[in-house]
Amino acid sequence: MATDVDVQFFSHLNGLVLSNNWGDMIRLLDACLVNGVELPDVTSASIDEQGDVHITLFAPHKAMLLQVVELVGFEPISLNQKYRIKGVPSDTQLILKPANTIAETAITTKGASKLASLGYDIIFRDDKDVKRVYRAKTPTLKHPYIRVDETISDGTNSYNSSYAKSAMVGLLEHMDHIDDYQDPNVLQLPFDPENPSKNWTIEGNAGNCIRGWFKWHWAYMTSTANYAVQEAESNGSMAGNRGFTLCGNHNFFIGSMATTTNIASSRLIGCGIYDTSLPDDVIKPWFLMAMEAKIKASDGSLTTILATGGDPIAVPESGRGFISTRYSPLNPLSAHIITYGITYNSTTGRAGAFGGSAVPALTIPIFDTGGFLKGALPCVCYSGRLISGLTPLLSENSMYVASTIRTRIGSDTNPGGVYFYLGELA
């Protein structure tokens, strides 16, 4: 069995920065989705008797166990492939498990290395560098165009730059340019058939400004202690870097992303193609985890985790969930629908429901309010034991990353966590 190198993850521990600045979200997505992260120069490299590649780097690499590394420019050319990080002997050394067996036993030319990207291209970018459209490098008809927009003014209506930071985000079936979102015959997520532009408009100014509809917020709280209470976008956000984990491949990405410098404020965001159990020749199996916030900047209900997308899988009340395309073969251009994950309870990663297991990770089936059992979320799993912080884990041959997210029981919003499944290490 070959080692899986399809699903990659990134973290703030790799030296990537998500701070209280406009542009941080787009820069982070450029690195993780498209470019990857270059590692320091390789000073030595060898192949051991098991076929694993050992490399020594000129400076600290900041790479983590079980991440995917890509080698290029090596000879023999069979070394130019993807690897799982099998060992981290020091901050300048890595042991790499190849996806494909290497027959050679000696390295004649050292090349370069990087943490491999998730496998996307930038299809469109604007001249002000505040908008992106991403899509899989080798797309099928199912793969959406992923539009991420940090615009705060349309020239007339403006959102104050000192307010909370967020990107308007959505999926589109087709695009010919970066602002191509007004065609009612092109499916979007989120989608209002009566107003295809609803997700992308800016209305009003200052505290009355309503900016976008579904958004990825990465900096919107003013204290590390108040992430459970309600705040307004106009309150601003605290300085400092946010912790995150972003995991996925060319089909999807899901991340736990803190909104303060306290990792306990993390919530799930993500989008892409879910593992569908329904025919997908007409209906796109898309999902989007984002906060629904078609509200004024001064509205104090922003941070409630009962809002759609507030906590997609970890809140017992009816407000949890995320959005997906509606399963309607006769009318595929239907409004989106609220979708829920089926979990053992709402306290993933908070208690030892299955504490006797090494890695009690449970796949999350999903259903929508229309009554359809739609399939399962990719990669992200319910955790049956306590999770704190960010930890790569190996359970027999199965690879995971445990990552903190915010959960809720009544008024108690202590952190829990999820597992991200990375595949099998051969």
- The answer on pLDDT for 227 being more than 80 is no
pLDDT at 232: 87
Looking at the domain assignment, is residue 158 inside a domain? yes
pLDDT at 347: 83
Q: Looking at the structure, do residues 206 and 141 belong to the same domain, yes or no?
A: yes
Q: Looking at the structure, do residues 153 and 182 belong to the same domain, yes or no?
A: yes
- The answer on pLDDT for 122 being more than 80 is yes
Q: 64-73, 220-229, 262-271, 292-301: which has the minimum mean pLDDT? A: 220-229
CA distances from 35 to 32, 38, 119, 187, 221 (A): 6, 9, 9, 28, 30
Under 8 Å between Cβ of 45 and 55: yes
pLDDT at 134: 98
Tally the residues of the chain.
426
Mean pLDDT of the chain: 91
What's 62's domain CATH number?
Answer: 2.40.30
Q: Looking at the structure, do residues 84 and 213 belong to the same domain, yes or no?
A: no
Q: Looking at the structure, do residues 402 and 314 belong to the same domain, yes or no?
A: yes
CA distance 152 to 170: 16
Q: Looking at the structure, do residues 200 and 318 belong to the same domain, yes or no?
A: yes
Q: Looking at the structure, do residues 153 and 80 belong to the same domain, yes or no?
A: no
- The answer on pLDDT for 228 being more than 60 is no
Looking at the domain assignment, is residue 26 inside a domain? no
Q: Looking at the structure, do residues 253 and 200 belong to the same domain, yes or no?
A: yes
- The answer on pLDDT for 107 being more than 60 is yes
Q: Looking at the structure, do residues 103 and 157 belong to the same domain, yes or no?
A: no
Residue 410 makes CB contacts below 8 A (sequence gap 6+) with none
Q: 230-234, 305-309, 370-374, 400-404: which has the minimum mean pLDDT? A: 305-309
Looking at the domain assignment, is residue 121 inside a domain? no
- The answer on pLDDT for 318 being more than 70 is no
pLDDT at 111: 97
pLDDT at 407: 78
pLDDT at 355: 77
Of all residues in the chain, the percent with pLDDT exceeding 70 is: 93
- The answer on pLDDT for 298 being more than 80 is yes
Residue-wise pLDDT for 27-45, tens only, equals: 999 999 999 999 999 999 9
Looking at the domain assignment, is residue 1 inside a domain? no
Name residue 331's amino acid: N
Closest CA to 367 of 345, 346, 339, 396: 339
Q: How far apart are the first and last CA of the chain?
A: 6
Alpha-carbon dihedral 261, 267, 271, 276, rounded to 10 degrees? 150
Looking at the domain assignment, is residue 269 inside a domain? yes
pLDDT at 311: 72
CA distance 228 to 304: 7
Residue-wise pLDDT for 376-423, tens only, equals: 999 999 999 999 889 999 999 999 999 999 876 656 667 889 999 999
Q: Looking at the structure, do residues 304 and 333 belong to the same domain, yes or no?
A: yes
Compute the average pLDDT of residues 362-373.
Answer: 92
pLDDT at 225: 61
Of all residues in the chain, the percent with pLDDT exceeding 90 is: 76
- The answer on pLDDT for 325 being more than 70 is yes
Closest CA to 170 of 319, 294, 259: 294
The domain in which residue 391 lies consists of 8-13+130-424
Q: Looking at the structure, do residues 274 and 342 belong to the same domain, yes or no?
A: yes
